[in-house]
Amino acid sequence: MNTFLQFIHRKRLAYQRVFLGPDGRPNPEAIVVLADLKRVAGINRGGIVVSPISRMVDSHASVYRAGQRDMFLRIMKFLDLEEADNMERGNDRAESATE
């Protein structure tokens, strides 16, 4: 295997060891963290940010949101997880259990 592919493989394994349990599914802490990252990244919001003051597209805020979204999607790709919707449902249960 080429050195670059080995590097990517090791990185993917590191992400998986942090977030996934032995069964390959997100562990309880990962469910909470990934759901929070998904919310903060604005995955369910549009990518364009409109300034509440000028009512025009805020290009800086839009680029910033795109970066947040890219980071979340990168994590999900390394974990081989398509979507975090099920994790959000799990997060609701986890948060209510800790209250």
Q: Domain residue spans in the chain?
A: 3-94
Report CA 87 to chain centroid distance, whole Å: 11
How many residues would you count in the chain?
Answer: 99
pLDDT confidence of residue 62: 92
Which amino acid does the sequence have at 65? Answer: R
H, E, C per residue of 15-52: HHHHHECCCCCECHHHHHHHHHHHHHHCCCCCCCCECC
The answer, yes or no, to whether residue 99 has pLDDT greater than 60, is no
The answer, yes or no, to whether residue 15 has pLDDT greater than 70, is yes
The answer, yes or no, to whether residue 91 has pLDDT greater than 80, is no
Position 44 confidence tier, pLDDT thresholds 50, 70, 90: confident
Per the CB < 8 A criterion, the answer to whether 27 and 19 are in contact is yes
Per the CB < 8 A criterion, the answer to whether 78 and 19 are in contact is no
* pTM summary value: 0.72
